[in-house]
């Protein structure tokens, strides 16, 4: 669950400074080298033991924000090394997307039980009596756990009447629902890229800001400055992200001020996917041709299903994700336009960079990164005038996709409207750990005849790593946004159009 913190403040400061250089600088290399000194301007460190480490960490964040890889720890490399390859208007991510900044990682203890100063050396000695390996003893008047004997069972902690035994778990590893994080030879966090699905929950969880993803913010601004036709596709989770007064009309104004040409709602693509998946469920699952149907709009969930449960490839919906459906719709109307998906999700960056999708989604920005661009241009979204929106039939169903359960609910409502005699069975999971559990149950044959919705982030898209406001608040605002839509479910006639978009090359 994303929390506001100094780490998020520092991330946004980096995005703002990189965007400012991209927009204004006549000396890109020199001004990029200066950013760590703007972030840590004094001689007294704020967060680390010295300013040199603070600046080194800031430098690595700058590189990632420019789409560059981290520098090697054992070689002298300038912050701007490779900048010519990034100072362009076309650049996709070089994997891995999620990276651990070595100098920022505090080497947190992982799965360790330790006795705190709350221990009162009570007569009961329940911790000693309940330890199956004799790892607990009394040393200097309080309990002590011998780590060489401890098997991490937690019985001592459960038995202690004073809660004097703490269980230390590495925050990033705890946040990773698919156990893609371990320790390297130095005790720092290490991401297994063969398992990682780029949800970014580890990045949100790390209290040291040691995990970050790459950005296209610098390249997008080059494209804007070059005069390319840039069209934004904004995810429904944008509701309230830039303040409660920030309506879609004001957000469009802000984007036009940045140099964008137009704005579409990704909810349009969600509506197309909704009617298509409703029909798919009726024709394939309700008839028994498929045992179940897995939604595909969350890339972290879809990648998890396809990589760790390869037998489910046929059960993962083949319909276009809302992002891609919207991008294809834009390209159909405006072939020369370059599409920027703006949303809460880090995993969308990898989805867009797949070769099969590159001609449709050119850039992916998170709300956090967009906020950096607004800050660089001193744009306060809530204070702007409204710009008229495109006339669309976007529905509450598509706008509700941003909240966990919203995808399944939208498809269920659509099935009931157009196929009233078909019973819809729904299962949904949120957070990768629960997603993996429900897929395991499906593999064991314990879930049949269902539409299974999976969301990689607990709470859905509103809890994505690239969001700005607390998920609980975002959920309420998205639900209001959905409820206030003039139309609530997509029109049946959209199915033919959705199928045509799917076939676009």
Domains of the chain and any CATH numbers: 6-107+177-218 (3.30.70.20), 112-168 (3.30.70.20)
CB atoms within 10 A of CB 94: 12
Of 81-95, 132-146, 285-299, 477-491, the least confident: 81-95
According to the model, what pLDDT value does residue 496 have? 78
According to the model, what pLDDT value does residue 170 have? 94
Sign of the C-alpha dihedral computed for residues 307, 369, 209 and 118 taken in this order = negative
pLDDT tens digit sequence for 474-505: 999 999 999 999 889 888 877 777 677 666 65
pLDDT above 90 (res 320): no
- Is 165 in a helix, a strand, or coil? strand
According to the model, what pLDDT value does residue 30 have? 93
- Model confidence at 327, pLDDT cuts 50, 70, 90, reads very high
Of all residues in the chain, what percent carry a pLDDT higher than 90?
A: 81
Cβ neighbourhood burial of 21 (10 Å; 0-12, 13-18, 19+): buried
pLDDT tens digit sequence for 4-29: 789 999 999 999 999 999 999 999 99
* Structural contact between residues 119 and 142, judged by C-beta atoms closer than 8 angstroms: yes
Of 144-148, 419-423, 496-500, the least confident: 496-500
Q: Which two tokens stand for residue 96?
A: 């891995």
Residue-wise DSSP of 415-459: HHHH-TTS---EEEEESHHHHHHHHHHHHTT---SEEEEEESSTT
Stretch 131-148: mean pLDDT: 96
Please provide the average confidence, as pLDDT, over all residues in the chain.
92
pLDDT above 80 (res 130): yes
pLDDT tens digit sequence for 44-103: 999 999 999 999 999 999 999 999 989 988 888 888 888 887 777 777 777 789 999 999
Distance CA 231, CA 11 (A): 25
pLDDT tens digit sequence for 119-128: 999 999 999 9
Distance CA 439, CA 504 (A): 31
- Model confidence at 3, pLDDT cuts 50, 70, 90, reads low
Query: Which DSSP helix (H) or strand (E) runs through 363?
Result: strand 363-366
Stretch 250-266: mean pLDDT: 97
CA-derived radius of gyration, the chain = 25
């Amino acid at each position: 669950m994303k929390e506001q913190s100094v780490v998020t403040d520092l991330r946004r400061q980096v995005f703002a400074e990189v965007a400012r250089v991209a927009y204004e600088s006549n000396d890109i290399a020199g001004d990029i080298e200066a950013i760590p000194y703007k972030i840590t301007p004094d001689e007294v460190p704020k967060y680390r033991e010295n300013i040199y480490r603070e600046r080194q960490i800031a430098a690595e964040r700058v590189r990632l924000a420019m789409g560059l890889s981290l520098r090697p720890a054992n070689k002298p490399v300038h912050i701007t090394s490779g900048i010519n390859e990034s100072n362009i208007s076309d650049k996709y991510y070089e994997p891995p997307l999620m990276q651990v900044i070595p100098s920022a990682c505090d080497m947190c203890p992982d799965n360790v039980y330790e006795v705190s100063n709350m221990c009162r050396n009570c007569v009961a000695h329940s911790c000693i009596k309940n330890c199956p390996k004799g790892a607990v003893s009394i040393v200097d008047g309080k309990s002590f756990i011998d780590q060489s004997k401890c098997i991490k069972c937690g019985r001592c902690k459960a038995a202690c009447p004073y809660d004097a035994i703490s269980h230390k778990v590495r925050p990033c590893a705890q946040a990773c629902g698919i156990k893609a994080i371990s320790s390297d030879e130095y005790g720092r966090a290490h991401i297994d890229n063969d398992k990682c699905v780029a949800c970014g929950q580890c990045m949100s969880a790390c209290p040291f800001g040691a995990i970050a993803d790459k950005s296209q913010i610098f390249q997008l601004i080059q494209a804007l400055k070059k005069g390319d036709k840039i069209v934004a596709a904004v995810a429904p989770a944008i509701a309230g992200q830039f303040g409660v007064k920030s309506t879609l009309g004001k957000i469009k104004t802000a984007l036009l001020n940045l140099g964008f040409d137009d704005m579409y709602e990704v909810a349009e693509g969600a509506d197309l996917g909704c009617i298509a998946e409703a029909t798919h469920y009726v024709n394939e699952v309700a008839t028994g041709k498929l045992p179940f149907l897995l939604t595909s709009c969350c890339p972290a969930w879809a990648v998890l299903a396809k990589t760790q449960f390869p037998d489910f490839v046929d059960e993962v919906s083949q319909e276009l994700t809302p992002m891609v459906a919207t991008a294809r719709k834009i390209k159909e109307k405006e072939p020369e336009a370059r599409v920027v998906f703006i949303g809460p999700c880090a995993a969308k960056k990898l989805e867009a960079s797949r070769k099969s999708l590159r001609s449709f989604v050119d850039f992916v920005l998170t709300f956090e990164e967009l906020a950096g661009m607004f800050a660089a241009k001193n744009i306060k979204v809530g204070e702007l005038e409204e710009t008229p929106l495109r006339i669309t039939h976007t529905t509450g169903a598509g706008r509700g996709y941003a909240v966990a359960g919203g995808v399944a609910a939208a498809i269920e409502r659509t099935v009931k409207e157009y196929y009233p005699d078909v019973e819809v069975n729904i299962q949904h999971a949120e957070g990768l750990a629960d997603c993996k559990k429900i897929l395991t149950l499906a593999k064991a044959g314990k879930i049949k005849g269902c539409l299974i919705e999976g969301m990689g982030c607990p709470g859905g898209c509103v809890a994505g790593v690239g969001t700005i406001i607390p998920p609980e608040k975002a959920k309420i605002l998205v639900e209001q946004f959905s409820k206030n839509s003039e139309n609530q479910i997509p029109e049946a006639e959209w199915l033919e159009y959705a199928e045509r978009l799917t076939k676009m090359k």
